[in-house]
Amino acid sequence: MFRDRPRLYGWYALLFLACAILLGSGLLACTTSSTGNGLPTQALPTLSLNTTPTAQIQQPYIASVPGPGCAKGANWGIGGRYKTIVTPTASADLGTNVIPTGTPGHKTVNDDSTVTTCKSDGLLVQHNAHYDSYATVIYESQAKPLPRHFRTQITATIVNGTDAASFDLGVRNQNENALSGQDNGYGNDSIEVKTDGSWSTGRTNDTTDDTDVVFSKGFVKPAKTFTLAAEVDGPRMTFWINDQKITTIVDATYPDSYGINFGISDFKAKSPPAALFSHFVYMPLIDTHLTNNNLLATATAQASKDAQASYTVATPGFGCDQGPGQWQPTVESRDYVTAHCQSQGLALSQPANTKYIGNVAFYGLNGNFPENYKVKVQIDVSQLNNGCAGLQTRMSTRGAGYAYFVCSNGFWQILLYDGHSSEGRRLAQGNVAQQGIYTMEATANGSTQSLALNGAQVAQLDDKTLSQTDYVELLIDGQGNAGTAVFSNFIFTPQP
């Protein structure tokens, strides 16, 4: 569903209008049933027997229960293969230690473990093996490219899975491309969302099935059910999750789409992951006739503008920041902290005897960071009870980063975490006048790392250990005591 239209009625109203037009031409018959609240529960186009693949993909289509054997009037397929990386191994010979030679390659895995079942409330998809790959259902185009401009959506509900279970919606599926074969046809542009609320968009390589690029990533509220939606206009793709516009990407790698796919994956699963998929919508739209060059130029200009803009929020954190900032939802067992939105700011608290530093991660506006930047925040340490709080820059997914702390007694320090040890290496330390509130600014500028407190620079050092950023963090270290730090007036500023 899309925020710029009435919630559910907008989709069906458009579909009914399209159906009425097509009915007048004798091409399509639409049937619906409704529930007590007046909302249609099913609207299944019934195609005439002589309908061609080209005519099918030019018509709107919805199915409350999508998938093979469940929904008439469309071609449905089930993904039956994927590629995995194979590392060369050496055979044991005469009891000697033989070092494997060669480079890793890819092999095709034929996967017939996806089982689909038509239910009254949706299509049940279960993956009986290969849990870490996607069990995929495909709305197929019969080797004909879909229109350049269309909308689509699917609702997914987890039935069996862990917190790593994820759903995807692919809108540039290359499987039905006439040029595809066993060694290619894996390409796609898609969005995926996990039940923990993390989402990402990316492009899959057509021959290796690897993720070539992650365009954007962020977070929504964790849930068991998500409605994923997309509007495709040539290389420009806009995605929604649960009525919320998430991101727009531009990728001209695959000129056409040969199908729309959805599915479930769960790399942590110990038993077959399963999900219920319902309310599939496919809606061809009027061609805007925008050229790829125009779309790419506009996207490049907007990306350049966004990359130079500062981001400011009075109360940072997931659920507190009402702007586009992407904050990871806090999980106490993982982050060693509890977070609460308050009028004064984001309150981060730790109980007594907490052994680890508490953290809240910020992923920028779309998961992408400039090489150089400043992070500034106001920290109220008056309730920290000899504890410390601060920022961490240049964070990587392996846990490396530069940590900047100021304590309630005025002591400050900069630590380097290399991602291999839980112990930080101290790079600088000192003292400032003890205060209840500090304004901290940490700067990452090439190999120069610097710290300012209350507008005065207290440290600048040269360290080349870390150069890239996956995210930055707000930090609290109660030093074994129960305490709370309140973070407010967060500012992220890209630097040249």
5 pLDDT band, cuts 50/70/90, is very low
Same domain, 284 and 400: no
Same domain, 85 and 132: yes
What's the burial of 102, exposed, middle or buried (CB within 10 Å: 0-12/13-18/19+)? exposed
pLDDT at residue 25 in the model: 36
Residue 480 inside a domain? The answer is yes
pLDDT at residue 294 in the model: 84
Same domain, 231 and 359: no
Flag whether pLDDT at 91 surpasses 50: no
| Cα 182 to Cα 251: distance, rounded to the nearest angstrom | 24
| Cα 144 to Cα 88: distance, rounded to the nearest angstrom | 38
| Beta-carbon contacts of residue 208 (< 8 Å; ≥ 6 apart) | 83, 106, 186
Whether the Cβ atoms of residue 211 and residue 186 lie closer than 8 Å to each other: no
Of 303, 302, 325, give the one whose Cα is nearest residue 312.
325
45 pLDDT band, cuts 50/70/90, is very low
Residue 477 inside a domain? The answer is yes
Q: Could you tell me what percentage of the chain is helix, strand and coil, using 3-state DSSP and rounding each to the nearest 5? A: 10, 45, 45
pLDDT at residue 178 in the model: 62
Same domain, 218 and 360: no
Neighbours of 398 (CB within 10 A): 11
Per the listing, tokens 């899975």 go with: 161
Same domain, 328 and 410: yes
- If you average pLDDT over residues 314-321, what whole number do you get? 97
Q: Which residue has the higher pLDDT, 103 or 243?
A: 243
Residue 4 inside a domain? The answer is no
Flag whether pLDDT at 490 surpasses 50: yes
For position 182, which CATH number holds?
A: 2.60.120.560
Q: State the average pLDDT for the chain.
A: 86
Same domain, 297 and 313: no
Residue 286 inside a domain? The answer is yes
Flag whether pLDDT at 84 surpasses 50: yes
pLDDT at residue 150 in the model: 97
- If you average pLDDT over residues 45-49, what whole number do you get? 33
Overall number of domains in the chain: 2
Q: Which among 282, 303, 324 is the end of a domain?
A: 303
Same domain, 392 and 478: yes
pLDDT at residue 372 in the model: 96
Residue 291 inside a domain? The answer is yes
Whether the Cβ atoms of residue 152 and residue 171 lie closer than 8 Å to each other: yes
Measured in whole angstroms, the distance separating CA 40 from the mean position of its chain's CA atoms is: 31
- If you average pLDDT over residues 337-348, what whole number do you get? 98
Same domain, 146 and 178: yes
Q: Which among 285, 303, 321 is the end of a domain?
A: 303
| Cα 132 to Cα 266: distance, rounded to the nearest angstrom | 5
pLDDT at residue 245 in the model: 94
Q: 369 is in which domain, residue-wise?
A: 309-494
Same domain, 260 and 121: yes
| Angle, vertex CA 47, rays to CA 41 and CA 51, nearest 5 | 155
CB half-sphere exposure, 181, CA atoms < 13 A:
2
| Cα 370 to Cα 361: distance, rounded to the nearest angstrom | 16
Whether the Cβ atoms of residue 458 and residue 412 lie closer than 8 Å to each other: yes
- If you average pLDDT over residues 190-215, what whole number do you get? 96
pLDDT at residue 89 in the model: 54
| CA distance to 121, 159, 186, 261, 262, per residue, from 276 (Å) | 8, 7, 24, 14, 11
- If you average pLDDT over residues 13-20, what whole number do you get? 48
- If you average pLDDT over residues 50-77, what whole number do you get? 85
Same domain, 472 and 369: yes
pLDDT at residue 52 in the model: 57
149 pLDDT band, cuts 50/70/90, is very high
Question: 386-423 pLDDT, tens per residue?
Answer: 999 999 999 999 999 999 999 999 999 999 999 888 88
| Cα 100 to Cα 96: distance, rounded to the nearest angstrom | 12
The share of the chain scoring above pLDDT 70, in percent, equals: 84
- If you average pLDDT over residues 292-310, what whole number do you get? 80
Question: 360-377 pLDDT, tens per residue?
Answer: 999 999 999 999 999 999
177 pLDDT band, cuts 50/70/90, is low
| CA distance to 183, 387, 407, per residue, from 429 (Å) | 56, 16, 11
Same domain, 313 and 299: no
Tell me which H or E stretch contains 12: helix 9-25
56 pLDDT band, cuts 50/70/90, is confident
Per the listing, tokens 């793709």 go with: 237
300 pLDDT band, cuts 50/70/90, is confident
Can you give the pTM of this predicted structure?
Answer: 0.83
47-61, 264-278, 447-461: range with lowest mean pLDDT:
47-61
| Cα 329 to Cα 335: distance, rounded to the nearest angstrom | 10
Same domain, 285 and 420: no
| Cα 88 to Cα 109: distance, rounded to the nearest angstrom | 17
- If you average pLDDT over residues 220-231, what whole number do you get? 97
| Cα 376 to Cα 491: distance, rounded to the nearest angstrom | 5
